[in-house]
Structure 1
Amino acid sequence: MCSPHAMFVMSLKGALSQKTFSRFWCHAQRRFYSANAIKMSAWQVYEYGGLDQLSLSTTARAATIKHPTEMLVKIHAASINPLDIRMMAGYGRNLLNVMRKQRDTLNHGTEFPLTLGRDFSGTVVEVGRRITRFKVGDEVWGAIGAFRPGTHAEYTLTSQSEISKKPSNLTHVEAASVPYVAATTWAALKTVGQLDHTKVHGQRILVLAGSGGIGTFAIQLAKAWGMHVTTTCSSDAAELVASLGADDVIDYTRTQVWSELQHREKFEYILDPLGGEVTDKAAKFLSPWKNSKLITLNFPLLKNSDEMGVVPGLFKSAISAGFATLKGLQSGGSVRWAAFNPNGQALDTVRRLVEQDKIRPVVQKVYPFLEAQSAYKTVNEGHLRGKVVLDLKPA
């Protein structure tokens, strides 16, 4: 026999059109989820702008599981990335809002209040019924998609495809510094660059801006795969990047990088987090080997979509990709774009490398959660030496 609740739903569905019922039911579910959501503290912005827009809410509601492949994680630590600063100013809003609408993560038709933050380390507290790889109580690390509410909060919603078990030899603060840069570097070298780590031993890679979050991770990953690593940095970071395994360090404060590179062998791979003129200049140092690749992380799709709208932005980005490919071919290789993409399987591999002491986290500074504004300011000033991390443990 059906319950009174089920009978009510069935009779309501029969009385309304399918479209009207669907709207009513979605609205009712949202009201239910909102009423039962966990209250938490979260750093949020209510409109796009500068660092002064960031404020702490102590009455925010954690996102609730709406799909059987989702899980809720209590966050113990989260890092701040330059992407968070850019998203605070509105970067990617047009395309991301299309994704948020598709994923049903908009609040009353708007992205605000917007919680920033992409990566984290924490403990699983609730799982959807189709979750098979994780259970309540598991310690995990991960980097979530930009369409989701962010990780600079006490809880975050994620899926099992975005996370991995936390390395057993890292604290939560150390672990939180890795997932975003790991997923981004993996997307650049493995997914877009099509690097086969079993066949690159002895090959040469140039990692530009080696002392930042991407650079410090990429150097270690390339060395774990047996590559010869050349990198660029300033004088005060030379010792750091050498300690991470860089074979050849070019100090851009003491010499002209492009002139100096003319005296080196050319490279099978170049990782460029900077873009712009740097990409054009660096492409000249690709090996004439037909499979050499320069991968830049200055991906213009979100920027073009912000300036022109989603469809024109996609069109312009496609044209720009064609020109970039032609420039690369002139240098004997190819020039490609890459961007952050959540990847739990990549984090599985990185976890094993961390536990084998082949990769270590590089943390410049740790801030208590309540001092997030100071942490954002540090990241905004640039010239980082690794990552800046928020510690959510009670003071």
Structure 2
Amino acid sequence: MKALVLKRYGKSPDIGFAEVPRPTLQPDELLVQVHAVGLNPVDNAIPSGTFKPILKFRLPATMGSDIAGVVTEVGNRVTRFKPGDAIFASVFDLGRGSLAEFAAVPESVAAPKPANLDFVQAAAVPMVGLTSWQALKERANLRPGQKVFVPAGAGGIGTFAIQLAKHFGAKVGTTTSTGNVERVSSLGADEVVDYKKQEFDKTLRSYDVVLGTIRGDAIEKSIGILKSGGKIVSLVGPLDAAFARTRRLNFVLTFVFWLMSHKVMRLARKRKVTYSFLFVRPDGGQLAEIGELLRSGSIRPVIDKVFPFEQAKAALEYLAQGRAKGKVVVKIN
């Protein structure tokens, strides 16, 4: 079968199409004919080697993690799905990829595709949906009436997180460019800062939760907009020692991550707020709950651009520019 594979890490990674064997199923897995794959920033970070100490890939490795497709075969321990079922899933951090004609998907990470979404729309959801759910519901315990700051509201994670936060009953602040103010407001943002005209840390106050989505000094600036007892859940780092312990990394990496997060931790303690780094995990149960919100229309996927499979590398390059308004999706079948 045809797949987009990473052959070598580095500043100029070796990425290209190749013929690879169709996956061999384990007893608890589904063989899925892939119809569409949603792309995420991590798909561009992995080839550079940024996550090499954390994510274990055997090169050449199939790229991609979000998937929507049709089950063609099931392992003998599978009970919830059968051939012909339409599913969506994330296979991130499972040592496998989705940018291929077929993918092996553990039953535990798959969920039924919402019937009102096509495959392209469904493929846009898994990572941003699970990340938003785990950050806002699990880690931050977001409650009705609280205020949450979601920077870069027009991006892939921002467009989903704003809607989910509103579903949880929160008030949402965000940043965007002048041309996207109306777009993020239509998703539910209550307080919108045009970053070309204002600094968010000079404008926003008394927030309960910050979802860290922008690298650089944005995390440190975010500390200043939180009230005492507030929480920062960062998706972009710095990585912290708690994350290293969760991954059972060695002492050296644990110490390195402690050093990386030391400054922001110190500033957070001074302001009496907490900081943590979140690494999303695949979860079919959570994705099924998100699927119900999609079915009801409470949340809708926002898609910027769709590329054919043959242009998957161009899709990754487009995403890397950082200008996508919503999700970038590759259509395979």
TM-score (norm 1): 0.78
Quote the residue 1:12 is aligned against: none
Shift of 1:183: 1.3
Shift of 1:310: 4.9
Indicate how the Cα distance of structure 1 residues 319 and 52 shifts in structure 2: closer, same or farther if over 3 A, else same.
closer
Residue 252 of structure 2 is aligned with which of 312, 334, 337? Answer: 312
Residue 295 of structure 2 is aligned with which of 332, 352, 355? Answer: 355
Quote the residue 2:194 is aligned against: 251
Quote the residue 1:293 is aligned against: 231
Shift of 1:381: 1.0
Q: Distance in 2 between matches of 1:366 and 1:230?
A: 28
Deviations 1:276-300 (A, max 9, x none): 4211110111122x3x211111234
Q: Structure 1 unaligned runs (5+)?
A: 1-39, 101-110
Shift of 1:62: 2.3
More helix by share: 1
Indicate how the Cα distance of structure 1 residues 154 and 50 shifts in structure 2: closer, same or farther if over 3 A, else same.
farther
What SS is found at the alignment partner of 1:388?
strand
Shift of 1:188: 1.6
Indicate how the Cα distance of structure 1 residues 301 and 249 shifts in structure 2: closer, same or farther if over 3 A, else same.
closer
Deviations 1:41-71 (A, max 9, x none): 10112112357722111x21122113x2222
1:157 maps to a residue whose letter is: A
2:306 equivalent to 1:366: yes
Indicate how the Cα distance of structure 1 residues 52 and 252 shifts in structure 2: closer, same or farther if over 3 A, else same.
same
Deviations 1:173-229 (A, max 9, x none): 01100101111122222232233xxxx222111111111111110000011111111
2:78 equivalent to 1:131: yes
2:30 maps to a residue whose letter is: M
Q: Distance in 1 between matches of 2:302 and 2:169?
A: 20
2:20 equivalent to 1:60: yes
2:102 maps to a residue whose letter is: Y
Shift of 1:319: 5.5
Q: Distance in 2 between matches of 1:321 and 1:52?
A: 28
Indicate how the Cα distance of structure 1 residues 311 and 124 shifts in structure 2: closer, same or farther if over 3 A, else same.
farther
Check the 8 A contact 2:63/2:99 in 1, yes or no: yes
1:354 maps to a residue whose letter is: L
2:52 equivalent to 1:112: no
1:46 maps to a residue whose letter is: K
Shift of 1:83: 0.5
Residue 316 of structure 2 is aligned with which of 333, 351, 376? Answer: 376
Check the 8 A contact 1:363/1:386 in 2, yes or no: yes
2:158 equivalent to 1:218: no
Indicate how the Cα distance of structure 1 residues 69 and 272 shifts in structure 2: closer, same or farther if over 3 A, else same.
same
Write out aligned runs for 1:192-211 (5 A): 192-195=139-142, 200-211=143-154
What SS is found at the alignment partner of 2:145?
coil
Quote the residue 2:125 is aligned against: 178
1:55 maps to a residue whose letter is: G
2:148 equivalent to 1:188: no
What SS is found at the alignment partner of 2:207?
coil
Shift of 1:145: 2.8
Q: Distance in 2 between matches of 1:147 and 1:349?
A: 21
2:96 equivalent to 1:149: yes
Residue 233 of structure 1 is aligned with which of 157, 172, 176? Answer: 176
Q: Distance in 2 between matches of 1:321 and 1:258?
A: 20
1:84 maps to a residue whose letter is: D
Q: Distance in 2 between matches of 1:257 and 1:184?
A: 23
State the aligned residue count.
Answer: 328
Q: Distance in 1 between matches of 2:62 and 2:195?
A: 36
Q: Structure 2 unaligned runs (5+)?
A: none
Quote the residue 1:329 is aligned against: 269
Deviations 1:5-39 (A, max 9, x none): xxxxxxxxxxxxxxxxxxxxxxxxxxxxxxxxxxx
Quote the residue 2:34 is aligned against: 75
1:166 maps to a residue whose letter is: K
Q: Distance in 2 between matches of 1:374 and 1:51?
A: 15
What SS is found at the alignment partner of 1:205?
strand
Shift of 1:326: 4.2
Q: Distance in 2 between matches of 1:113 and 1:253?
A: 42
Write out aligned runs for 1:66-105 (5 A): 66=26, 68-97=27-56
Shift of 1:88: 1.4
1:173 maps to a residue whose letter is: V
TM-score (norm 2): 0.92
Q: Distance in 1 between matches of 2:149 and 2:54?
A: 32
**Identity, % of aligned positions:** 35
What SS is found at the alignment partner of 1:126?
strand
